[in-house]
Copies of this chain bind each other. A is one copy, B any other.
């Protein structure tokens, strides 16, 4: 089969690899219908996250079950399924409490020795604990299928940020980051009843999606200027709930700066760089909480899926470029150069 591998920074290739097969009794093999490229894949692409040469890449996909191991009870060939960006056994105490990202037997697609999502098929360990079934008729609805793919990561991650930030009916929310996760944070905040959603972003194409997703205000500034703007919009107080969806020192500094006293920052941007951007003295004096991390999207899919299916929320606009599998290297380039927001892959 063909799958995407990363040979070195900026060297993404689609190569012939060993077919995905059932190896363990709990495995399933999923033929990929939709995959995509994540902002966090760019850290590997840019060499900021280490990868072994030849490692697979891509952690978001949905598709059709092609085969199952003897122990798999919840799925059968032909089932349409979505995979969260980590697999998990579904039986440990962390899985039971909805923190599947801490499952001791869990792992990330594309980690050494595993298949990645940007390929023709994926071997799925612990299929019963990992996959979520989708209605079969969704396969014939192109736009819906694209929206459902967002359950694999960005929608659940945006939701995790909103939950971490404590978004509740009536909240004032500010969102740092105009990437797909930040935009899904806007969507999630609106879904949770936020009254006012201030999106920080300077790219009109992206802030237009933010408005479509429910942003009531857009701040086209960065750093101190953005902090001043958000403070002015909120009577000097800042936003009670802040979504941090970038992961840099600068973005975290902005998040702290725009948070209201007693508020919370829900952070889901993968931290990179040497500093945290956190001024603990400021956070201490103002009782600003920090909650978030790698999103246990498996836990959120059952809650979010019905709303995607019935059209209450439609995250599909975050995908603004579609490529066949062979187009994946160009997709990375487009996202790296910010000419594409999020690239859909249709193997």
Residues of A bordering B, CB below 8 Å: 94, 97, 99, 101-102, 164, 261-262, 264, 267, 270-271, 276, 278, 280-281, 283-294, 296
Contacts and interface: CB of A to CB of B under 8 A. Distances in A.
B281 A286 contact: no
A267 B285 CA distance: 12
A284 B296 CA distance: 12
The A interface is mostly helix, strand or loop, or mixed, namely mixed
With most chain B CB atoms within 10 A of its CB, the pick from A94, A276, A280 is A280
Given A94-B261, A261-B99, A281 B287 contact: no
Contacts of A262: 94, 97, 99, 102
Given A94-B261, A261-B102, A271 B294 contact: no
A287 B292 contact: yes
A289 B291 contact: yes
Nearest to A266: B289
Contacts of A294: 284-285, 287
B284 A102 contact: no
Nearest to A237: B93
Closest 7 CB pairs of A and B: A287-B293, A102-B261, A289-B291, A271-B280, A284-B293, A99-B262, A290-B290
A44 to B, nearest CB: 15
Nearest to A285: B294
Contacts of A289: 164, 289-292
A333 B270 CA distance: 46
A145 B146 CA distance: 66
A278 B281 contact: no
Nearest to A283: B293
Nearest to A249: B280
Nearest to A98: B262
Contacts of A287: 99, 101-102, 292-294, 296
A287 B99 CA distance: 9
A55 B13 CA distance: 68
Nearest to A236: B104
Given A270-B284, A278-B278, A287-B296, 11 more contacts: A99-B262, A101-B285, A102-B261, A102-B262, A164-B289, A283-B290, A284-B294, A289-B289, A289-B291, A289-B292, A290-B291
